[in-house]
Structure 1
Amino acid sequence: MELEKSFNPAAIEQPLYRHWESAGYFKAGFDPDKKRAYCILMPPPNVTGTLHMGHGFNQTIMDTLIRWRRMSGDNVLWQPGTDHAGIATQIVVERLLEKEGLTRQELGREKFLERVWQWKEYSGSTITQQMRRLGSSPDWSRERFTMDEGLSRVVIQTFVRLYREGLIYRGKRLVNWDPKLKTAVSDLEVNAEEEDSFLWSIHYPLADGPVDGVEGVIVATTRPETLFGDTAVMVHPDDERYRHLIGKTVLLPLAHRRIPIIADEAVDPTFGTGCVKVTPAHDFNDFAVGQRHNLPMINIMRLDAHLNDNVPEPFRGLDRFVARERVVEALKEQGLLVDVKPHRAMIPRGDRTGVVLEPMLTDQWFVATTKPAPDGKSLAQKALEVVDNGEIRFIPENWTNTYRQWLTNIQDWCISRQLWWGHQIPAWYAAEDEGKENPRFWVAHDETEAAQLAAADGYTGPLVRDPDVLDTWYSSALWPFSTLDWTPEYPARSNPALDLYLPSSVLVTGFDIIFFWVARMVMMTTHITGKIPFRDVYVHGLIRDAEGQKMSKSKGNVLDPIDLIDGISLDALIEKRTFGLMNPKQAESIAARTRKEFPNGIPAFGADALRFTFASLASPGRDIKFDLNRCEGYRNFCNKLWNAARFVLMNTEGHDCGLADHQPNACQGEYLDFSFVDRWIVSRLQRAEHEADQHLNAYRFDLLARTLYEFIWDEYCDWYLELAKVQLKNGTAAQQRATRRTLLRVLEATLRLAHPVIPFITETLWQAVAPVAARKTTDSIMLAPYPVAQPERIDEAAEAAMADLKAIINEVRSIRTQMGLKPGERVPLLVTGFDAAQAERFAPYIEALARVSAVRVVPELPEQLLAPVAVAAGGQWMLEVTVDLEAEKARLTKERQRLTNEIARAQGKLANEAFVTRAPAAVVAQERERLAKFTEELAQIDAQLARLERR
């Protein structure tokens, strides 16, 4: 196979992927002869648009692991799928309808859902095609969607089971309510940030007159409009200011209702006046207080956040914020407003709509997370135990504490949403109870079963299904077993996928959904199946821009991974970043930023360079600053590998490479004569293979990338290929055969070693290199064995010799640069204090790579030359060049000043405590290395100057 002259990702990636997929290389393994099974569940991306950089990073990590274990000979399943993303998807489709001048209410539920399914087909297809562009290799034949028929059936089956076990219930509880969407939302969909507000101090008069001269209490609140829902005033039991008033009653301003003064340790005596209002139906903390003290729950708002009929007539129907202004005015008129102060308050906003969320007392469905199940243990308890006993581990380990803290303080899980898109709750109400406070209902697998249950209870009238749908996280929590076609008869009735791949091997996820998804998968899977969902949870950071800012559309710093693969013009990038923005000023600001960041657009880096960038940035426990310069560097790395393969093929195809089976063993005859250089690169390959295995097992993808980069670029390309040229030119026939064999075999193994990270280029090169190397035993590199280190092939002596040779060549190159010799100017190299036989063995390599005409061993170096002397490998090395004394002194003095400045700069940084403690450890270590290097160079310059001064 002939390689193109230059590496062109666009020419190879898509055709190669189509071949992989059509050949069935990604399909799950069910081979009984394979001892191990390895499974990864793909976190299902939402069908709400396109993949983002976080998806690209996540896909790269998972695909690297899957390709590694597939090549390691395991039965492998990477289970793909997408999530219906209830609220997010419904909003997208409603916005599309708005452009047509329609609303979902005008369409009706059935027609609206048809439109959502159309969007899902479009968006879901787009997402999976983008995954393919990244090189992801899941078993597409097993692709699942959370609202597929099979998965929807599992949702109903588990809901009914949990309800009948008493672990799902319907109740009136306080939830985060989005008044615009008119639905409960999860905590994950709440953005709470400090905003400018006010603290209002209001006089609540004592109902039965003054006590000890005190006429009332001053209550500090950030929400005066909710006072109509107050059912108590609360103080700290140890607050001397109010202890004598505990148990008295006050008159609620504007409503003239009597409410008690209660004591509770939840009060912060230092906040405001130390006296607060208790509104159980409109504040989460107050709700808990209300339950502790058996206070009434008075809901004063409609679902659209307008005040209802539980407030005085003048305030009914008002928007909550208009009502706030009217309440404050009325309090002022009645002399009850004591003070108003500016205050920074945490304001919860819906991340989908941006409106202020309202704690709302509504009828919802809940999963009881702390109630004992029939086996005596709660869902939360089981989820904690499997982590505490080591069945599930978190990487990095510190996330275990986060997981444990969340589960220890867990509340019952609100699983109902007032939407149309999603799994409709399998509960049916008596039609005649519609609108009643506590309607009769029956939870069943279908309406027929519900009717039978109703009849058994004496009701035979028509039934109405609950219109609400389940929280998206409910179906996502079932993902580990619903995707494997679980049925309620499990384990008595199972299937090969369930038997082999539950639990899965590792879950790759971001830290932001440990509670919302990871913990819930553990709870549901352990309870429903009796098995853990996965063994390892690899938690990675968030992808941020180069300045460390979170990527968001509003900031205009979002990058599309496909744009980095294919490249995108400046105009197209600006249009993409500003698309859909309603604010022209914001759009222009983002456009200006884009022009500054990418004046020429984004070049095409290809999937491999992008994947290598993601891997190199995957440091544990840290958010990831994504810098396009890294992509540029790793595209160059791919070019380097491509050019190396072309060089190897040009020097091996059609030549005797010592690969035939009948030829003598390398070290037993004259047919193959391996040099210490050949043995060195083979030895270094063993170490690289060992390191790669360690890093993959430890989920250290950053260290894996470093190992690959340093071995391929620094050792194989920069050193071995250059030394191999010398051997091919000057060596005997046996040495040349050995060199060709080593070139091929090391390159072929290196391609397999790097394949999980950079699959496209390695497959393309392997198809050309493997046949020549007599190593093509499979149709694809992804089916070839992953390299396993052979410790017996580590050659310490060859590595030591090579370390000496590299040190000598580097030092000679350095003194050539110091002396200003032109690249083509070759002069003899003199050495003393070095073994003559070793010098003779090194000479061909030194002459070629250090550009000297000859290497001569001398008893001592001639001082009259005045040339700089390098010390390396125990010898002293000097170029045989006459130097102008004064000119050399001047040059060395100038260089000395430069080094002195660099040392002072480095010392200043390291003396700065803020730098040492706050900068990343790698940056501090790099600065220390620079200081050591400059100090060593300065010592050499001083020694050279002293030598010249003696002249």
Structure 2
Amino acid sequence: MTTPDASSALPAAWNPADHEQELYRGWVDAGYFTADASSDKPPFSIVIPPPNVNGSLHMGHAYEHVLMDALSRRRRMQGYEVLWLPGMDHAAIAMQTMVERKLAEEGKTRDDLGRDAFIERVWEEKENISGSIADQMRRLGDSVDWSRERFTMDEGLSRAVHTIFKQLFDDGLIYQAERLVNWSPTLQTAVSDIEVKYEDVDGELVSFRYGSLNDDEPHIVVATTRLETMLGDTAIAVHPDDERYAALVGTELEHPFLDRRIPVIADDYVDPEFGSGAVKITPAHDPNDFAIGQRHDLPMPTILDEQARIVDTGTQFDGLDRFEARKAVCEALREQGRIVKEIRPYQHSVGHSERTGEPIEPRLSMQWWVAVESLAKRAGDAVRDGETTIHPESMEPRWFGWVDDMHDWCISRQLWWGHRIPIWYGPGGEVVCPAPGEEPPAGYTQETDVLDTWFSSGLWPFSTMGWPDDTDDLRKFYPTSVLVTGYDILFFWVARMMMFGTYVGAKDIAGLHQRDAAVPFADLFLHGLVRDEHGRKMSKSRGNGIDPLDWVKRFGADALRFTLARGANPGSDISVGEDHAQSSRNFATKLFNATKFALMNDATCAGDLPPREDLTDADRWILGRLDEVLADVDAGFESFEFSKACEALYHFAWDEVCDWYLELAKVQLADDALKASTARVLGEVLDPLLRALSPVMPFVTETLWKALTGGESVVVAQWPAPSGEQDGSTGPRDEQAATRIDDLQKLITEVRRFRSDQGLRPGQRVAAKLTGLDEAGLADERHYLDALARLDPPADDFTATASIEVRLSSATVLVDLDTSGTVDVEAEKRRVAKDLAVAEKEMATTTAKLGNEQFLSKAPDHVVEKIRARQEIAREEIARLGAKLAALGGA
């Protein structure tokens, strides 16, 4: 219950830095975020997309965390047992690269340390840096269950990785094969597609000649931007229907540098309209060439080693790196007279390593693979059958496009840091995969490669809850309720989780058959990217990245959170800048000042509301609007339209509560007969408003709500519902009160606008006579008008020097004012002319619609009648304003 001096519990002003960290520690210490698997409450669970252990949270992470936190906090208030599970990814390539860079500064390599010592060094680095992300999450206000924090290489998750690898291997879904992969010469490992970024580069297109240098003898001209790969050519391909080369198909041409002849083959892949209509085929170093090589059973010699140096060609180019070899091969071809065209600049797309920035080398390599056909089918069917719902629905075609045409997944990496592949090789070439805890046969050696990081993170929804054991957490919280992640990793991470989740669920392992669905999450909410205020993607190269912690320091965590949530809709990118953050900070200040004002005027949440008949129009209007806004907020959250929910709350709080109701309440608070009921309505409005805002702005609302209500914490308060859904006394919306307040607002706004146009001082009171208040139903609202528009009742000798007309819902009110010669005629002419232009535009719009026969034939009668009414109003306004402008001496 609020005490008379409750406002004194609040600081003089809201300075987030003085309160946020202390509030967060209090929430954690109280156990508000710790989930209870034995609870009989309905479960709600989210697992955090694990950030890289060696990184820090960027604005994209902050965006994602705010959305997950808002969902979690709301469900907690709705009475759910909420588990928001935190953790981090071991980030194999990133961590290994970082440690190797540090070793290089010490003049060492990983080989100098050896595998075991190197891994120990990485663990040390992990322990030194992993706490920074957790600290950042606390600064953001993440309501995660810290008691369940996980790491993709902790003991439990490592056992889960080994377990599912064994199951997939035994089911024949993991195999070893020589295939083309993305190869990083700097890291000397295969890398995943997501770690390859394509960008246009300026290269050179070189055309050279295979076969005879005599135009009358067999020859073919081909062109390439990667001339060094011709050392690995094993065919020249032309289109089967290309008459130019029909006689050459099936023949062989000499290779300029190798002691072998290469065949001319026909394949539909070749575009006869591009270039010469013939292409060189290097199966071991180009994805398209590899496919052609498979179709035609071509040899696939690898001519680049792990560091992208030419090897095993028996030519003078062996030992050169790929770029040196490109120049040397060109010069050698020129000396032979085989360069048939001038080398010309050519811009083309080249894949680059995200980690090192180097061009990726397609390379044929022996790797471990997951056969994805059956797994991908289950992942696709889960969405088709409605077990998992994608938000927004428009992303479904993209999902099906990937999972329905997925290629086998390369899961091996030539690294030391990571989950070492649990395969052992025997002295006679035997291959075994022991179960977790089972010793391999004596004399066997383990595979040196580690697993792709996406393999372990693909298990994240259930491995973090104790799988493969049958745990209380799994039984309570799996499948998870929703996955919140970016659409940019829909394939790379989400698809992996869906494949593994449906695979494990289908096998009825560890009690998962008791779940209603064999999917890792019921809802998949895909958010967009965070862009700068100009709509550009944030990047280091542009220098337009924003550190979310910098905004927390400058504007407060609530301002950062509200800025991000206010722009969030499924699948859509958002643009943010400092102006947005400052606006959100101003909003927090507005809430603080409004609540402090209410408390200074004895606002309370104690006791019942007065009977409806004892409430004023202003009271009934604001309570009705509160119900409508709470319904909109619920609808927004349920559909993951955070922007809709936040916009509804922002405009209600700022535009209606602060700008209007508080001003109307000041008039009522000055009336002893209305003071108590107004104070009670203030509490009735601010209490649910603060609770509804708390999932997005938890810090300022916690402070204000506790001061207002005396409650324990807004974190565990009940989620507010419209009065029709609870035992309240506000009842349905009062349409008459809403109409009168809407008319009153319009009337006050017009008078204020007139005053502003005339240059009257804000506090200057003006005598005014109002005609038409009774007809408009506003006779009892005159005191509000006088107070908010600074009007005085007219004296007996009142003489009007200016007037304005305001059309309201049921009547027109004429306001005659005695401005004592202060009227600026030119300003008034401009104001009337502006209103006249608006009326003329409305007249043109409605006339055009009513003159459109197609519209009239299709539109419902009530729509047509509404437009006719608008046209009539516009016609009257044009006549009235035109006459007024003429009276002012206007054109």
State the TM-score, normalized to the length of structure 1.
Answer: 0.84
How far has the Cα of 1:749 moved from its partner?
A: 1.3
Deviation of 1:817 (Å)? 1.7
The 2-side partners of 1:50 and 1:119 are apart by 14
Once the two structures are superposed, the pairs formed by residues 117-156 of structure 1 within 5 Å of their partners are: 117-156=123-162
* 1:7/1:642 contact within 8 Å kept: yes
Alignment of 1:854-893 (within 5 A): 854=793, 865-873=801-809, 874-881=811-818, 888-893=824-829
- How does 1:454-533 map onto structure 2 within 5 Å? 462-487=443-468, 494-530=470-506, 531-533=518-520
Query: 1:872, CA displacement in angstroms?
Result: 3.6
Residue in 1 aligned with 2:3?
Answer: none
Task: Report the residue type matching 1:877 in the other structure.
Answer: L
Q: Take 2:785 and 2:759, find their aligned partners in 1: how far apart are those partners?
A: 19
Query: Deviation at 1:408?
Result: 1.9
The partner residue of 1:783 within 716, 732, 747 is: 716
Residue 28 (structure 1) aligned to one of 31, 35, 40: 35
Counterpart of 1:443 (choices 433, 448, 458) is 433
Q: Could you say which residue in structure 2 is the equivalent of 1:245?
A: 248
Q: Deviations over 1:648-691 (max 9, x none)?
A: 111117xxx69447xxx72289xxx3211111111111011100
Residue 496 of structure 1 and its aligned partner are, at CA, apart by 2.3
Q: 1:192 aligns to what SS in structure 2?
A: strand
Q: Which residue of 1 aligns with 2:681?
A: 742
DSSP 3-state at the match of 1:241 = helix
* Residue in structure 2 matching 1:730, options 671, 677, 700: 671
Unaligned runs of 5+ in 2: 1-5, 507-517, 725-730, 844-870
Instruction: Give aligned-pair identity as a percent.
Output: 46
- Residues 1:281 and 2:292 aligned together: no
* CA distance 1:900–1:790, change in 2 (3 Å): closer
For 1:121 and 1:935, locate their aligned partners in 2 and report how far apart those are by CA, in whole Å: 76
Partner in structure 2 of residue 945 of structure 1: 885
CA distance in 1, matches of 2:605, 2:522: 46
Tell whether the 8 Å contact from 1:175 to 1:185 is kept in structure 2 after alignment: yes
1:169–1:362 distance in 2 versus 1, CA, 3 Å: same
Cα 1:905–1:184 shift into 2, 3 Å? farther
Shift of 1:549: 2.2
2:412 corresponds to: 416
Q: Secondary structure at the match of 1:425?
A: coil
Q: Verify: 1:827 aligned to 2:827, yes or no.
A: no
Q: Counterpart amino acid of 2:885?
A: L
Q: Deviations over 1:837-888 (max 9, x none)?
A: 94431011111111111379x9xx9996343433345232324215659x74
What TM-score does the superposition give when structure 2 sets the normalisation length? 0.89
Q: Which amino acid aligns with 1:650?
A: M
Aligned length: 837
Aligned counterparts, 1:74-93, within 5 A: 74-93=80-99
> 1:308: Cα distance to partner?
0.8
Compare 617-626 and 276-285 and name the one that shifted more.
617-626
Counterparts of 1:904 and 1:57, CA distance in 2: 45
Query: Compared with structure 1, are the counterparts of its residues 355 and 846 closer, same or farther at alpha carbon in structure 2 (3 Å cutoff)?
Result: same
**1:608 and 2:567 equivalent?**
no
Q: Per the alignment, do residues 20 and 625 of structure 1 end up closer, same or farther by CA in structure 2, a change over 3 Å counting?
A: same
Q: Which residue of 2 aligns with 1:797?
A: 736
Per-residue deviation, 1:904: 13
1:802-817 correspondence to structure 2 within 5 Å: 802-817=741-756
**Cα offset for 1:893?**
3.9
- Counterpart residue type for residue 610 of structure 1: L
1:512-538 deviation per Cα after TM superposition (whole angstroms, max 9, x unaligned): 110000011000110012310111111
Distance (Å, rounded) in 2 between the aligned partners of 1:504 and 1:144: 16
Compared CA separation, residues 157 and 882, structure 1 to 2 (3 A): closer
* Aligned equivalent of 1:7, options 14, 21, 24: 14
Decide which of 635, 642, 666 is 2:610's aligned counterpart: 666
Secondary structure class of the residue paired with 1:61: helix
* Farther off after superposition, 861-870 or 118-127: 861-870
| 1:450–1:844 Cα change, 3 Å | same
- Rounded to whole Å, the distance in 2 between the matches of 1:893 and 1:720 is 33
Query: Is the 8 Å Cα contact of residues 685 and 746 (structure 1) preserved in structure 2?
Result: yes
**Cα distance, 1:94 vs. partner?**
1.9
What displacement does 1:558 show? 1.7
The aligned counterpart of 1:584 is none
Secondary structure, in 3 states, of the residue corresponding to 2:537? Answer: coil
User: Quick check: 1:658–1:738 contact (8 Å CA) kept in 2?
Assistant: no
Listed as ranges, the gaps of 5+ residues in structure 1 are: 371-377, 434-438, 452-459, 488-492, 567-603, 908-931
Q: Is the Cα contact below 8 Å between 2:50 and 2:86 reproduced in 1? A: yes
The residue aligned with 1:537 is 524
Q: Is the 8 A contact 1:284 1:359 kept in 2?
A: yes
Residue 353 of structure 1, CA deviation: 0.6
Cα offset, 1:808, TM superposition? 1.3
> Compared with structure 1, are the counterparts of its residues 863 and 274 closer, same or farther at alpha carbon in structure 2 (3 Å cutoff)?
farther
* Aligned equivalents of 1:863, 1:726: Cα separation in 2: 28
Tell me the CA shift for residue 949 of structure 1.
Answer: 4.6
* Contact 1:839/1:855 (<8 A) preserved: no
CA distance in 2, matches of 1:341, 1:905: 59
Measured at CA, do residues 718 and 889 of structure 1 come closer, stay the same or move farther in structure 2, by a change above 3 Å? closer
Tell me: CA distance 1:939–1:38, structure 2 relative to 1, closer, same or farther (3 Å).
farther
C-alpha change, 1:829 and 1:154, in structure 2 (3 Å) is same
SS of 2:784 mapped into structure 1: helix
TM-aligned CA distance change 1:939 to 1:217, over 3 Å: farther
The structure with higher relative contact order (CA 8 Å, sep 6+) is 2
State the one-letter code of the partner of 2:319: G
SS across alignment from 2:340: strand
The one of 194, 205, 226 equivalent to 1:199 is: 205
State yes or no: 1:550 paired with 2:537: yes
**Aligned AA for 1:881?**
D
Q: Among residues 46, 67, 70, which one is paired with 2:76 in the alignment?
A: 70
Tell me by how many angstroms 1:222 deviates. 1.9
Q: Is the 8 A contact 2:767 2:819 kept in 1?
A: no
Report Cα offsets for 1:405-445 as digits up to 9, x if no partner: 11122110000101111101111123x57xxxxx4322223
Bigger shift: 474-483 or 807-816? 807-816
Would you say the 8 A contact 2:802–2:816 is kept in 1? no
The residue aligned with 2:853 is none
Amino acid at match of 1:450: P
Which residue type is aligned with residue 107 of structure 1?
L
2:342 is aligned with 1:335: no
Q: Aligned AA for 1:666? A: P
